[in-house]
Amino acid sequence: MSYELAYSTFGDEEKQAMYAVIESDHFSMGKNVKKFEQQFADFFGKEYAVMVNSGSSANLIAVATLFHRAKNALKAGDEVIVPCISWATTFYPLHQYGLKLKFVDIDLKTLNYDIDELKKAISSETKMIVTVSVLGNPCHFDEITALCEQHKLILFDDNCESMGAKYKGCYTGTSGLVNTFSTFFSHHISTMEGGLVVTDDYEIYCLAKSLRNHGWTRDQDEGSPIYEKKDDDFFEAYRFILPGYNVRPGELQGALGLTQIKKLPRLIEQRRKNAAYFVEKFKDDSRFIIQHETGESSWFSFTMIVAKSANITRQQVFAALDKHEIKYRIITGGNFLEHDVIKYINHEVTKSDNASYAHNNGFFVGNAPIDLTESIDLLVEALKIL
């Protein structure tokens, strides 16, 4: 037996959904994508969702919208606060649009922002806070939204690894002015590749639709606030108003999304059952710091950080896992400051001790919406020998 990092959630329904698209012979963005966007927005109680071809593209488009708003637009040189631990494409679009990144340390138990450090980092230059609920575990959104209100900051929630998590009854990915999701394979729902920008702001919605689609006006609603329609249909058909991209999803992705979103509550329930079993097995094992749940995590995976007091090394743990064919990997993208690419990024660091500790002593094993009792038992067995 082996214990994988991820398992497919596709069954007959997904195959049928894809087959229906093949039969329709219409593959580029169309009615399936539109319907999925509507259902996705409804599921999370938000006004608008715009689907794109990945969570990374969702971040890119979401950042771009904030630079093109009529009022309170971000501008190059503005300061944005980010956590030290996240995926690389949380940071790249911020950098690519000329923002200055201020990195804040994480809490070793939750793996999310250390709230005291976050408070200290806010300066008169700060314009935005980016939240990342690491691996399904919600950030303290009540405190963070209060900080944003107090200091008049934009909240950007990169929720790409935490679909279905809740904090104080509220879904993560709903508290920001803009919120992003990923539907990549192994995430809470999968469209193979895919992502969404979610917002209640009509102007941001219109901007996101244009920016994902060549920066043109083709799919703007009547009454869109971002341009004025003219009478000449010849030019209106190909009218470019924003420096955008082509990051559209296809109909296969839309159809998969429609099938998977129906299953989301069930998928999360199974992940949470596995998590309860994992926590039961490891909560009293002082060799490891496991992720401390804040709110209701959607448990992307199970993190384990070798404690300072433990007389084992991560290398010994890896050897035991290898022997039992248990797969493991870095926590999200690790401490971003320790990657070579940081030399290109205009940034400042307040403190990064915990992120660095997690980077050098932590890892995660997989969770998935299938019963992992036996896999977790294998993990317990593998770690007994140390």
Catalytic residues: 187
Taking a C-beta distance cutoff of 8 angstroms, is the pair 196, 261 a contact? no
When binding is defined by CB under 6 A, the residue of 32, 65, 86, 375 that contacts ligand PLP is 86
Report the residue number whose CB is nearest to ligand PLP: 55
Residue number with CB closer to ligand PLP (86 or 126): 86
CB of 162 to ligand PLP, least distance (A): 8
- 297 lines the binding site for ligand PLP (CB under 6 A): no
Neighbours of 137 (CB within 10 A): 26
φ, ψ dihedrals at 205, nearest 5°: -60, -45
| Stretch 53-82: interaction string toward ligand PLP, x if CB under 6 A | -xxx--x-----------------------
φ, ψ dihedrals at 289, nearest 5°: -95, 115
- 260 lines the binding site for ligand PLP (CB under 6 A): no
Residue number with CB closer to ligand PLP (195 or 295): 195
Residue number with CB closer to ligand PLP (253 or 354): 253
CA 151 from centre of chain: 25
Residue number with CB closer to ligand PLP (182 or 274): 182
| Stretch 195-224: interaction string toward ligand PLP, x if CB under 6 A | x-----------------------------
Residue number with CB closer to ligand PLP (110 or 224): 110
- Binding part of the chain for ligand PLP, among 51-59, 143-151, 210-218, 366-374 by CB under 6 A, reads 51-59
When binding is defined by CB under 6 A, the residue of 78, 161, 251, 296 that contacts ligand PLP is 161
Measured between alpha carbons, how far is 261 from 267 in angstroms, rounded to an integer? 10
Measured between alpha carbons, how far is 91 from 339 in angstroms, rounded to an integer? 12
- 158 lines the binding site for ligand PLP (CB under 6 A): yes
Residue of 158, 87, 79 whose CA lies nearest to 336? 87
Taking a C-beta distance cutoff of 8 angstroms, is the pair 223, 46 a contact? no
Show the 3-state SS of 59-105.
HHHHHHHHHCCCCCCCCCCCEEEEECECCHHHHHHHHHCCCEEEEEC
φ, ψ dihedrals at 173, nearest 5°: 85, 15
Show contacts with ligand PLP in window 98-137 (CB under 6 A).
132
Taking a C-beta distance cutoff of 8 angstroms, is the pair 188, 265 a contact? no
Residue number with CB closer to ligand PLP (160 or 267): 160
- Provide the edge-to-edge strand list for the sheet that holds 126-132: 48-52, 195-199, 178-182, 154-158, 126-132, 79-83, 100-104, 347-349
- 182 lines the binding site for ligand PLP (CB under 6 A): yes
CB of 132 to ligand PLP, least distance (A): 5
Neighbours of 33 (CB within 10 A): 25
- 171 lines the binding site for ligand PLP (CB under 6 A): no
Residue type, 225: P
CB of 225 to ligand PLP, least distance (A): 28
- Angle between helix 251-282 and 31-43 (nearest 10): 30
Question: Binding residues for ligand PLP, how many (CB under 6 A)?
Answer: 16
φ, ψ dihedrals at 81, nearest 5°: -90, 135
Show contacts with ligand PLP in window 313-342 (CB under 6 A).
332
The b/e string for 149-162 (b: 16+ C-beta within 10 A; e otherwise) is eeeebbbbbbbbbb
The structure tokens listed for 357 are 């500790």
- Binding part of the chain for ligand PLP, among 158-166, 168-176, 225-233, 365-373 by CB under 6 A, reads 158-166
When binding is defined by CB under 6 A, the residue of 101, 160, 198, 365 that contacts ligand PLP is 160
Residue number with CB closer to ligand PLP (56 or 259): 56
**Residues found near ligand PLP in the complex (CB under 6 A):** 54-56, 59, 86-87, 89-90, 132, 158, 160-161, 182, 184, 195, 332
